Copies of this chain bind each other. A is one copy, B any other.
Amino acid sequence: MITVQRLDLTDARVMIDAAKAKAAEIGVPMCIAITDDAGNLVAFERMDGGKVTSTTIAIDKSYTASGAKKATHEYGDASQPGKPAYGIASAIGGRLMVVGGGLPVMVGGACVGGIGVSSGTPAQDMEVAQAGLDAILATL
C-alpha cells in the first residue's frame, strides 16, 4: 500500500482565491484550475471576461503539471525543435501542455496537486499560477 497526500477542496480554494487576487491586481481575468496528485480536477473558476478557450487550457495545464510533477514551461523548453521532447505537445490528445502557466504543488518531495492558469500571456499566466502556489505553501 502507498499512502499519499493530496490537495483537498479547502486547499484548492486557498489557491484559487490567491490566484484571483493576483489576476485582479494585474488586470487580466483568468481561468484557474486546481487538480489533485492524480491530475483530476478539484476546483475551477473562470473569472468574468476569462477566455472560453482557456477553460480547457487551464484544466490541461494543471493536469500536466500535477500528472508529470513538472511546470508546463519546463516542457516548453524541452520540446523545442531539435530537443529531446520535441513533439510531446500533442501527446494525450493535446492535453499535455507545454505553455507556461501550469505548476505542480510539491510538498516534501512529493507532488500533491497542481494549478493551471490561462487567458493572459504565458508570463501573466505563470505569475498568477505562482501566486496560487505561494498561497498554499504558506499554509504548510
Taking Cβ atoms with an 8 Å cutoff, the residues of A that contact B are 1-9, 11-12, 36-48, 51-57, 60, 63-64, 66-69, 75-76, 79-82, 84-100, 107, 112, 121-123
Min C-beta distance of A42 to chain B, whole Å: 5
Contact B5 A1 (CB under 8 A): yes
Q: This chain: how many copies in the complex? A: 4
Contact of A4 among B3, B64, B79, B89 (CB under 8 A): B3
Least CB distance from A106 to B in Å reads 13
Q: How far is the CA of A79 from the CA of B99 in the complex (A)?
A: 9
A86, B99: Cβ atoms closer than 8 Å? yes
Residue of B nearest to A57 (CB): B91
